[in-house]
Structure 1
Amino acid sequence: MMRRLFFPALPLIALVGVAGCIPQGAAPVQPQPATPQPVVRPVAVPSPVPTPTPTPITGDWRDWPLTPGTWTYRQDKRGSIALFGVPGENALLTLRCDLGRRTIYLSRAGTAPSGSMATIRTTALTRTLRMAPTGGRPPYMAVAIQPEDRLLDDMGYSRGRFLVEIPGMPTLVVPAWAEVLRVTQDCR
């Protein structure tokens, strides 16, 4: 019978024995504190840098830097077209010969109120033209010019460049390349 009492009492005896191993005056073991949660600090998002307003160019416009871009020429069912701008982007300026109407359309990328005036400056003349929105996407302002108009020849023969100015839009300083004259000749 003693055997039976011994086995159930064994766990109790083991506990008393372990309790006796703690030295006198020792602090009881404290449970480990929970791992602190990382502090989430908001990350400052840099505010967008405002686009600087272009410094007005002063002096003789014939010395102003050219607007970045190049001319390209192509023909299609309607006639021919010369496009000026950065390759791979929408054209900034186009000259379109519409053979069916025998009319050249000068188009400038952007929007302005209907009836806005565009000033075209060449080394030989300055002309103001009334522009109208084309209604397309991307938006353009356009004006019809008769192929015999001297302005087209002056744009093509201007000394190195000509200007297209519309109030409220950046001025285009466009190189006077052969594409202008090719489109003009196609419509004559």
Structure 2
Amino acid sequence: MKAGLPLLALAVLAACAPAAKAPVSAPTPAARPAPEAPKPLPPPPAPPSSDWMDANDTAGAWIYQNFGPGAGRRSLFSDPDDTFYFSLSCAKGLDGMKVLLSRTGRPAKRYLAMTIRTETTQRTLTAEQLGTQMVAASVPASDPLLDAMALSKGRFAVEVEGEKTLILPSHAEVSRLVEDCRA
């Protein structure tokens, strides 16, 4: 019976101890609205046409125009009938010198993708509709894209949504405009 006393004492102590409480679950927080999905990115530029480097140049020629001190400069590409296609213009922006890339066409919307393809660089810019027959994008005068255009194996391509691709020669007028705008 003496051996039973310690067991009896343990049983009495266990009966006096408070019962283990079930864990209390935390209150359920109010449902939070799902975060907004990020806005979709614009589609990537179309893969480079495998034949743009072999396509015929757009008919026409470059001319350089200097409108005098403070009036600006531009290199203009037009066809033999003086139909303007593309230009590079130097302009002073709020944050330094800029080069405006302008392309004629009939834009279907206010903002369009303008892709410039060179031998070493491909970049898609956001071009904005200017009037009813022009779109333009700008880059800082120091942008390496301009160097690629001036030195691109003799040619570069200008693609604007809904317009025929221009294959333009990299003549001295392109380099001159870039250099003058950086000076």
Q: Calculate the TM-score normalised by the size of structure 2.
A: 0.66
Distance 1:68 1:110 in 2: 16
Match of 1:133 in 2: 129
Of residues 127, 147, 155, the one that matches 1:161 is 155
Measure how far apart 1:177 and its partner are: 0.7
Q: Which amino acid aligns with 2:66?
A: Q
The C-alpha deviation readout for 1:31-79, integer Å capped at 9, x for no partner, is xxxxxxxxxxxxxxxxxxxxxxxxxxx7421111000000000100422
Match of 2:77 in 1: 84
Is the aligned partner of 1:121 residue 2:112? no
The correspondence of residues 95-110 of structure 1 with structure 2, limited to 5 A, is 95-99=88-92, 102-110=97-105
Q: Unpaired segments of 5 or more residues in structure 2?
A: 1-48
Distance 2:50 2:126 in 1: 26
Local SS of the residue matching 1:62: coil
Contact kept? 1:97, 1:183, Cα under 8 Å: yes
Distance 1:164 1:71 in 2: 15
| Bigger Rg, which one | 1
Q: Unpaired segments of 5 or more residues in structure 1?
A: 1-57
Local SS of the residue matching 1:102: strand
Contact kept? 2:59, 2:80, Cα under 8 Å: no
Distance 1:90 1:102 in 2: 27
Distance 1:187 1:99 in 2: 9
Match of 2:56 in 1: 65
Measure how far apart 1:120 and its partner are: 0.4
Distance 1:135 1:162 in 2: 25
Q: Which amino acid aligns with 1:109?
A: T
- Report % sequence identity: 38
Local SS of the residue matching 1:66: coil
Of residues 176, 179, 183, the one that matches 1:185 is 179
- Quick check: which one's strand share is greater? 2
Local SS of the residue matching 1:163: strand
Measure how far apart 1:89 and its partner are: 2.1
Distance 1:124 1:149 in 2: 14
Match of 2:86 in 1: 93
Distance 1:132 1:99 in 2: 18
Aligned length: 129
Between 100-109 and 150-159, the greater mean CA deviation after superposition: 100-109
Local SS of the residue matching 2:111: coil
Q: Which amino acid aligns with 1:115?
A: Y
Local SS of the residue matching 1:61: coil
Q: Which amino acid aligns with 1:169?
A: E
Is the aligned partner of 1:75 residue 2:69? no
Which stretches of structure 1, 4 residues or more, deviate above 3 A after TM superposition? none
